[in-house]
């Protein structure tokens, strides 16, 4: 069964019909072709699919697309305005090698943005807890933590 | 300005951090269908019948593929490495079984539908009748002659039995009398868990007669070889493209049944198809690793020197499959006694099949069990003699002046300085002050402990008779008329950063800025033939090939520049985009002008005596590999032997058995480092996987060989919270066998945590005689060990 959904994604309004079974992550990826939102587990455990819903991070594999009617979504593609001008958190990840394969990175960056919104001067422990919902298998997190520390210092 | 040795950020960083990487899952083609895989719910069952009528009647379902058709229309999948060649038993395996399912999760049918939701619903409409067969779920039990058989034609459940001997360990052990320690070391089953699941897409162009396969593989060219053989196509009729890969760790090395099925179906149906592995499928069928039991006896002298070692290894490798995972058990035996010199040694390995998911290549590839075993042996000898744990290791190490060192198995250890690394890590972790720190903690009711581990992670795996595993690779370096440089490599990056290191090597060779260099990898139509990514080979072998090609171009360009500057080529150097006279850098010509002379003035005075064009493809074959078996069938399969000394400080809650790692240090020797930031990053990631193995990660089957840990809720990867701040320091002893001296860093860091953490937990309770021999050190296991040790004490 299909239902109409009106929502704003990365400040652009969309009016689409979605299958009632469709998860938000699939709608973003398959319908809107915003493939920066990655799916790592489909069960809300890994955080690769993290997006912002009305300014708060959520795991988009665990939300039905039909349930975001009337709401506002920001994906990794909406975080920066152009390739040359990345968000400061993204710039910090680039500079401090807060990534390797890049698959968990969009979700990790969005969780870091949320963390710094909530707490502009987090301790190392607070950073580690702030990204505990995002699994990374490549980096051991150390350079991610350092990237977030660097981004915090720049603010 | 030189680039090698500088920690420049990874070249793809901006693309990846902004969500603009392209992974297989991101590919969308017109008319693309989705594939879903029906998997066996039984560990061992005869497939009596498969009825596809109801599934095919479902609207949106395009096709259902079963084992009968696969048997008729495809050949067996060539194994990534064939145990038959090493005196073991082989098995022809096809993408889908026609008559028998051998483990829970084995693919038995494949559905293609217009969309993924429909394909998954249709799985429930494929009617399979199974007849359950006896299950083999435990390797030791599988060795019993009365055990049911995983492969009835084999006669027993032993894929390979192999023995390596030096001297007479048994006699030496008898002679040692009471100066013998013994134990049983157990390593748990493990799964790689890259955050990107496996992902494949395929499309057939009937007019070009070409099949394009997009795969999250680590090895595009070998995959093309294997698909061509399996499908009966010419290799030139297949193009394998590896887009960005979201982590591999060895798991994405072999050819999987799903890759064959999707490639076959895309051609048969004339429709592009995509398949993305679900996380549960990764746990069920992505390939496991590490389940080994190592029983040892070691004889020692009162000063802590180990004089004899006898080890029996039983590896539970799951069902025989096309994955090369079984070889990890061989490598475990091959690596004993790791970094130590033990005169009398016997190592015996039984590679045993069971009705579990097959082993698949996983980072550390069996080496971890050998090092963990030796760490446990050294700590037991320290306990028995009263000699300090570090000192025991120092007294048994192979000494720096003894390289190249021929180890028991025939392995030729190339280089290293183990004592220096261990002494340095002892400093880094603060060992001198630790006794005081421990006393202070005790006064506050806390139990902290310090432990050491030493890892040996040979790299560049090179096996005889293997399409996939060998010590050579190719690279093309191309300079455009404007002086920009393109590198095409046969090695690939699953996210580990070798493209950046290779670019640094080539930039230095040509004397150009890194911003003028682009690296292309992972496309069989454009890149030179090569074996891809595994065994930390990409930078040391692929980087050496690129260096060879770049050197050839450099010589050619210096010759042209020498004509232009009217000097001898030997007088010239290149840097910062300029070719200049050594000692007189104002006499120079821009690099791009030299390129222009070659391309635009082919008949001019500067370039007329060189061949037109600026492109070189070269192959590098690494030394220190011996494939002609000597006595006992020994050969040298690993050209370089990185090593690492590790130390951990842990806090153990005696009431719950919970272990918190407070700090961790490693001094690692991978030879000269091309990019310290990326190398350190690799080590941090390796340490996280190692700590995961030491403390948290555990694949569990029940007695019916049903998987009990099929999600990230059950199989727990370390998060940022569990990870301590790690101190990583590099020690650089160069390998004589690579052009850059580097020995590979891709698997480094994974192994040390096993020994270091076990040792540290034991050390947190010096008053108890703890002997922790089994990972992971989960709270219940530590708690039980504490209670048992307390009981034994009273």
Q: Do the Cβ atoms of A29 and B689 come within 8 Å?
A: no
Q: Has residue B356 got a pLDDT over 90?
A: yes
CB of B30 less than 8 A from some CB of A: no
CA distances from B598 to B557, B559, B564, B574, B607 (A): 8, 11, 11, 17, 5
Q: Has residue B567 got a pLDDT over 60?
A: yes
pLDDT at residue B81 in the model: 83
Q: Which of A82-86, A147-151, B589-593 has the lowest mean pLDDT?
A: A82-86
Mean pLDDT of B648-663: 98
Angle (deg, nearest 10), helices A88-95 and A105-118: 120
pTM across the whole model: 0.97
**pLDDT class for B631, splitting at 50, 70, 90?**
low
If contacts are CB pairs under 8 Å, which of residues 722-761 in chain B contact chain A? 723, 725-726
pLDDT at residue B530 in the model: 98
Q: Which residue of B has its CA nearest to A97?
A: B9
Q: Has residue B487 got a pLDDT over 70?
A: yes
Separation of alpha carbons A24 and A41, rounded Å:
14
- The answer to whether B339 and B374 are in contact (CB under 8 A) is yes
pLDDT at residue A42 in the model: 95
Q: Which of A59-63, B33-37, B494-498, B595-599 has the lowest mean pLDDT?
A: B494-498
Separation of alpha carbons B299 and B175, rounded Å:
9
End-to-end CA distance of chain B: 68
Q: Which residue of A has its CA nearest to B726?
A: A142
Q: Render pLDDT for B152-200 as a digit per residue (tens, 0 to 9).
A: 999 999 999 999 999 999 999 999 999 999 999 999 999 999 999 999 9
Out of A30, A99, A140, the one facing B687 most closely (by C-beta) is A140
Q: Residue B366: name the closest of B184, B637, B722 by CA.
A: B637
Out of B10, B194, B247, the one facing A97 most closely (by C-beta) is B10
Domains of chain B, start order: 13-133+196-246+252-285 (3.90.1170.50), 288-462+629-793 (3.30.365.10), 472-621 (3.30.365.10)
CB of B194 less than 8 A from some CB of A: yes
Q: What are phi and psi of B731, to 5 degrees?
A: -115, 140
The maximal CA–CA distance of chain B, rounded, in angstroms, is 94
Q: Render pLDDT for B224-242 as a digit per residue (tens, 0 to 9).
A: 999 999 999 999 999 999 9
Out of A19, A101, A134, the one facing B246 most closely (by C-beta) is A101
Q: Render pLDDT for B749-780 as a digit per residue (tens, 0 to 9).
A: 999 999 999 999 999 999 998 999 999 999 99
Separation of alpha carbons B447 and B104, rounded Å:
42
Q: Has residue B748 got a pLDDT over 90?
A: yes
Q: Has residue B85 got a pLDDT over 90?
A: no
pLDDT at residue B351 in the model: 98
Q: What are phi and psi of A28, to 5 degrees?
A: -60, -45
Q: Which of B16, B711, B720, B745 to mutate to test the interface with A (most CBs of A within 10 A)?
A: B720
pLDDT at residue A154 in the model: 87
pLDDT at residue B490 in the model: 98
Residue ranges of domains in chain A: 2-78, 88-154
Mean pLDDT of B450-473: 94
Q: Do the Cβ atoms of B717 and A43 come within 8 Å?
A: no
Residue-wise DSSP of B81-126: S-GGGGTS------SS-SSEE-STT-EEEEEEESSHHHHHHHHTT-
Q: Does domain A2-78 have CATH number 3.30.720.110?
A: no
Q: Has residue B715 got a pLDDT over 60?
A: yes
Q: Do the Cβ atoms of A35 and B720 come within 8 Å?
A: no
For residues B69 and A81, the model is more confident at B69
Out of B19, B278, B720, the one facing A36 most closely (by C-beta) is B19
pLDDT at residue B632 in the model: 61
Mean per-residue pLDDT of chain B:
96
Q: What are phi and psi of B391, to 5 degrees?
A: -65, -40
| ipTM reported for the complex, 2 dp | 0.98
Q: Do the Cβ atoms of A103 and B194 come within 8 Å?
A: yes
pLDDT at residue B738 in the model: 85
**pLDDT class for B681, splitting at 50, 70, 90?**
very high
Q: Distance (Å) from the C-alpha of residue B22 to the closest C-alpha of chain A?
A: 8
pLDDT at residue B629 in the model: 66
Q: Does domain A88-154 have CATH number 1.10.150.120?
A: yes
- The DSSP output letter for B494 is S
């Amino acid at each position: 069964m299909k239902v109409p959904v009106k929502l704003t994604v990365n400040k652009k309004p969309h009016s689409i019909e979605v299958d009632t079974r469709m998860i938000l992550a699939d709608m973003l990826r398959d319908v809107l072709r915003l493939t920066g939102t990655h799916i790592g587990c489909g069960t809300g455990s890994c955080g690769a699919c993290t997006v912002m819903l009305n300014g708060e991070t959520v795991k988009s594999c665990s939300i039905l697309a039909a349930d975001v009617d009337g709401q506002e979504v920001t994906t990794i593609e909406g975080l920066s305005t152009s390739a040359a001008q990345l968000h400061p958190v993204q710039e910090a990840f680039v500079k401090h090698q807060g990534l390797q394969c890049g698959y968990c990175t969009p979700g990790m960056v969005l969780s870091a943005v949320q963390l710094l919104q909530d707490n502009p001067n987090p301790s190392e422990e607070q950073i580690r807890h702030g990204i505990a919902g995002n699994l990374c298998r490549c980096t051991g997190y150390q350079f991610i933590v350092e990237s977030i520390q660097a981004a915090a210092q720049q603010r | 300005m030189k680039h090698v040795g500088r920690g420049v950020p990874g070249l793809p960083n901006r693309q990846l951090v902004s969500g603009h990487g392209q992974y297989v899952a991101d590919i969308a083609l017109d008319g693309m269908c989705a594939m879903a895989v029906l998997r066996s719910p039984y560990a061992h069952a005869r497939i009596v019948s498969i009825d596809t009528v109801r599934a095919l009647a479902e609207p949106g379902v395009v096709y259902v593929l079963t084992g009968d058709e696969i048997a008729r229309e495809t050949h067996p999948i060539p194994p990534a490495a064939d145990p038959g060649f090493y005196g073991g038993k082989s098995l022809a395996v096809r993408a889908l079984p026609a008559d028998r399912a051998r483990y829970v999760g084995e693919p038995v049918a494949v559905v293609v539908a217009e969309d993924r939701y429909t394909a998954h619903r249709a799985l429930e409409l494929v009617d399979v009748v199974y007849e359950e067969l006896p299950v083999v779920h435990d390797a030791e039990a599988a060795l019993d002659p009365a055990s049911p058989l995983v492969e009835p034609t084999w006669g027993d459940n032993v894929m390979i039995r192999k023995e390596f001997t030096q001297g007479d360990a048994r006699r030496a052990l008898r002679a040692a009398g009471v100066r013998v320690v013994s134990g049983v070391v157990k390593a748990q089953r493990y799964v790689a868990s890259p955050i990107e699941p496996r992902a494949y897409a395929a499309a057939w162009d009937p007019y070009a007669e070409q099949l394009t396969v997009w795969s999250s593989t680590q090895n595009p060219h070998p995959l093309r070889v294997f698909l061509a053989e399996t499908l009966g196509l010419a290799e030139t009729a297949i193009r394998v493209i590896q887009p960005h890969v979201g982590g591999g760790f060895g798991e994405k090395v072999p050819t999987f049944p799903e890759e064959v099925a999707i490639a076959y179906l895309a051609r048969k149906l004339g429709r592009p198809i995509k398949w993305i592995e679900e996380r549960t499928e990764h746990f069920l069928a992505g390939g496991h690793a590490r389940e080994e039991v190592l029983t040892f006896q070691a004889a020692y002298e009162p000063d802590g020197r180990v004089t004899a070692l006898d080890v029996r290894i039983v590896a539970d490798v799951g069902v025989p499959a096309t994955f090369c995972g079984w070889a990890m058990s061989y490598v475990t035996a091959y690596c004993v006694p790791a970094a130590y010199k033990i005169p009398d040694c016997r190592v015996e390995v039984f590679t045993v099949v069971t009705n579990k998911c097959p082993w698949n290549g996983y980072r550390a590839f069996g080496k971890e069990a050998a090092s963990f075993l030796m760490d446990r042996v050294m700590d037991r000898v320290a306990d028995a003699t009263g000699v300090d744990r570090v000192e025991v290791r120092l007294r048994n190490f192979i000494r720096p002046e003894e390289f190249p060192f021929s180890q028991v198995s025939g392995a030729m250890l190339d280089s290293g300085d183990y004592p220096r690394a261990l002494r340095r890590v002892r400093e880094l972790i603060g060992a001198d002050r630790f006794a005081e720190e421990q006393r202070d903690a005790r006064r506050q009711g806390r139990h902290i402990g310090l432990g050491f581990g030493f890892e040996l992670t040979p790299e560049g795996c090179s096996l005889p008779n293997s399409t996939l595993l060998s010590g050579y690779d190719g690279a093309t370096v191309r300079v455009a008329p404007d002086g920009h440089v393109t590198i095409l490599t046969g090695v690939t990056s699953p996210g580990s950063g070798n493209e950046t290191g290779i670019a640094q090597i080539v930039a230095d060779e040509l004397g150009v800025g890194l911003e003028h260099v682009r690296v292309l990898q992972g496309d069989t139509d454009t890149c030179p033939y090569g074996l891809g990514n595994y065994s930390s080979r990409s930078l040391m072998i692929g980087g050496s090939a690129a260096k060879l090609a770049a050197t050839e171009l450099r010589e050619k360009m210096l010759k042209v520049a020498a004509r232009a500057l009217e000097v001898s080529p030997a007088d010239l150097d290149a840097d910062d985009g300029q070719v200049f006279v050594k000692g007189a850098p104002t006499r120079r010509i821009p690099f791009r002008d030299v390129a222009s002379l070659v391309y635009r003035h082919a008949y001019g005075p500067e370039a007329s005596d060189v061949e037109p064009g600026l492109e070189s493809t070269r192959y590098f074959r690494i030394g220190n590999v011996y494939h002609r078996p000597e006595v006992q069938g020994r050969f040298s399969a690993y050209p370089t032997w990185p090593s690492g000394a590790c130390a951990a400080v842990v806090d153990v809650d005696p009431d719950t058995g919970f272990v918190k790692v407070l700090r961790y240090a490693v001094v690692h020797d991978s030879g000269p480092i091309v990019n310290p930031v990326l190398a350190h990053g690799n080590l941090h990631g390796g340490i996280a996987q190692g700590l995961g193995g030491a403390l948290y990660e555990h694949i569990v089957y029940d007695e019916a060989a049903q998987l009990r840990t099929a999600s990230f809720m059950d199989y727990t990867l370390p998060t940022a919270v569990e990870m301590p701040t790690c101190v990583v320091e590099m020690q650089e002893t160069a390998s004589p066998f690579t052009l850059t001296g580097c020995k590979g860093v891709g698997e480094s860091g994974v192994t040390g945590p096993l020994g270091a953490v076990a040792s540290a937990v034991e050390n947190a309770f010096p008053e108890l005689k703890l002997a922790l021999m089994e990972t992971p050190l989960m709270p219940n296991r530590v708690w039980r060990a504490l209670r048992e040790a307390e009981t034994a004490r009273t």
